[in-house]
Amino acid sequence: MKYLRVTRYMNDNIDFPPWHDISLNLEFILRHFTEPIFPRTISTFKSQGKQFEVFSKEEMIKAYQESDLLDCRVNAYPSYTEYKGIQRYPPNFIFADLDRSTFGNVGVLESALQTTLSTIRTKINGHPSVLWTGNGYHIYQPIEAVIFEEFTQFEGFEKPSLQFLRFAETYLTGAKSDHSHNPSFKSCMIRVPESCNSKASVGNNEVKIYQKWDGYRPPISLLLGTFHAYLVDQKIEGMKLKKKLEKQYRTAVGKVNSIRWIEALLQTPIGDYRKNAMPLILAPYMVNIRKLSYGESFPILKNWLMKCGELRPLDFDFDYMIKNSLNTAIRKQRLPMRLGTLKEKNRELYDLICKNYPETLKKDKKGGANFCQV
């Protein structure tokens, strides 16, 4: 049974680290960052996971104490990493998440961790911090990095600094990281040791240090060649996939299909995975399949998110989320993710859709879930 820290505090038989320990553990985390340390965002259980900006270590400690040390997170990157589309901060903190639910048992999880640490040591001579969160391991590796957008060899690639964050996690974990974890400069929220995880799935819900970073920041140059090759491959594969999907989504006479399971999703709010569903499924569907304008799509998607918020409060700026998702779908002519791809990238959302909307799914000859024409 899980207990909130405020509840556990009533139990005289459980020992807690005193309040001043959060200061020591917070200082340990802050040493992973480079200047400017502040301002940056944090979140707590009291804020319902919503990020808010702080300007000092004292403000952080106060907020964590007010939340009874529950769900204490801090962004690995300072505020204002991007301004009007211009990248202003390098991707100098690699965050990898090995989630227990991804593996069959704890033994397999432990093996994946040791393999990842060995890879980090071999590839970049790194020795990262590792935290046990109650649901798996978080790996924090600071590096010496550059802003990729400032170099000519990375021109023509979409947001290479952001792509590096995601590439590094996948590459160094051997693609064993949590598939639903897509780090970005605004969402790279890491936990503070000795705080408590309200969603811990096993045992004690306190976040524990498994291994401490050795203080060395490996140079990003050790990964540049592999990363550039990755970007080229992704661009080529993306163009091939786009052409393939365009053929699949259109009839012989050029009419556009609608997709039943996405139409069903638009009619039913969900309590989780809204951040994934909006940019990957709903926004591309509205503008590139249903061919609605930005102005027509926005209120439909906003109404859906507001209904989702009634099930579980939204912890993000939904106006910004919709605007960004629609603009990206329009600019890149992005098509909605297919169910088969969603199954690989986000199994939880895939299972939720299959559970809630089985009548909308149609099996193709191979038995895989396909789109349906309404």
Whether this model's pTM surpasses 0.75: no
Tally Cβ neighbours within 10 Å of residue 238: 13
Distance CA 93, CA 144 (A): 9
pLDDT at 5: 38
- On the question of pLDDT at 275 being above 80, the answer is yes
pLDDT at 236: 86
Helix, strand, coil shares of the chain as percentages rounded to 5? Answer: 45, 15, 40
Q: Which residue has the higher pLDDT, 317 or 157?
A: 157
Distance CA 33, CA 170 (A): 22
**What residue segments make up the domains of the chain, in order of their start?**
5-222, 249-370
In angstroms, the Cα distances linking 298 to 205, 286, 311, 321 are: 40, 9, 21, 10
Q: Which residue has the higher pLDDT, 364 or 138?
A: 138
Q: For residue 66, what are its two tokens?
A: 């007010």
Please answer whether residues 52 and 41 qualify as being in contact, where contact means their C-beta atoms are separated by less than 8 angstroms: yes
Overall average pLDDT of the 13-37 stretch: 77
- Highest mean pLDDT (candidates 64-78, 173-187, 306-320, 340-354): 64-78
Q: Which residue has the higher pLDDT, 223 or 343?
A: 223
Overall average pLDDT of the 74-87 stretch: 89
Overall average pLDDT of the 118-147 stretch: 96
Of 35-39, 97-101, 153-157, 176-180, the poorest mean pLDDT is in 176-180
For 222-232, what is each residue's pLDDT tens digit? 999 999 999 99
Q: How confident is the model at residue 339 (pLDDT cuts 50, 70, 90)?
A: confident
For 182-206, letters b (16+ CB in 10 Å) and e give bbebbbbbbbbbbbbbeebeeeebb
The enclosing H or E element of 104 equals: none
Count of residues for the chain? Answer: 374
Contacts of 122 (CB under 8 A, 6+ apart): none
Distance CA 370, CA 357 (A): 13
Overall average pLDDT of the 175-181 stretch: 79
For 257-273, what is each residue's pLDDT tens digit? 678 888 888 888 888 88
**How does strand 93-99 pair with strand 136-142?**
antiparallel
Q: How confident is the model at residue 130 (pLDDT cuts 50, 70, 90)?
A: very high
Distance CA 26, CA 285 (A): 43
**How does strand 189-191 pair with strand 136-142?**
unpaired
Among residues 128, 129, 131, the alpha carbon closest in space to that of 207 is found at 131
Please answer whether residues 47 and 67 qualify as being in contact, where contact means their C-beta atoms are separated by less than 8 angstroms: yes
- On the question of pLDDT at 252 being above 60, the answer is no
Percentage of the chain exceeding pLDDT 90: 49
| Phi and psi at residue 73, to the nearest 5° | -125, 155
- For 7, what's the count of Cα atoms within 13 Å in the CB-facing half-sphere? 7
Overall average pLDDT of the 94-111 stretch: 90
Overall average pLDDT of the 189-207 stretch: 88
Q: How confident is the model at residue 13 (pLDDT cuts 50, 70, 90)?
A: very low
Overall average pLDDT of the 121-139 stretch: 96
pLDDT at 140: 98
Distance CA 361, CA 371 (A): 7
pLDDT at 4: 37
CATH 2.40.128 fits 5-222, yes or no: no
Overall average pLDDT of the 102-121 stretch: 93
Q: What is the mean pLDDT of the chain?
A: 83
DSSP conformation letters of 3-68 = --HHHHTT-TTS----THHHHHHHHHHHTT--S---SEEEE-TTTTT--EEE-SHHHHHHHHHHTT
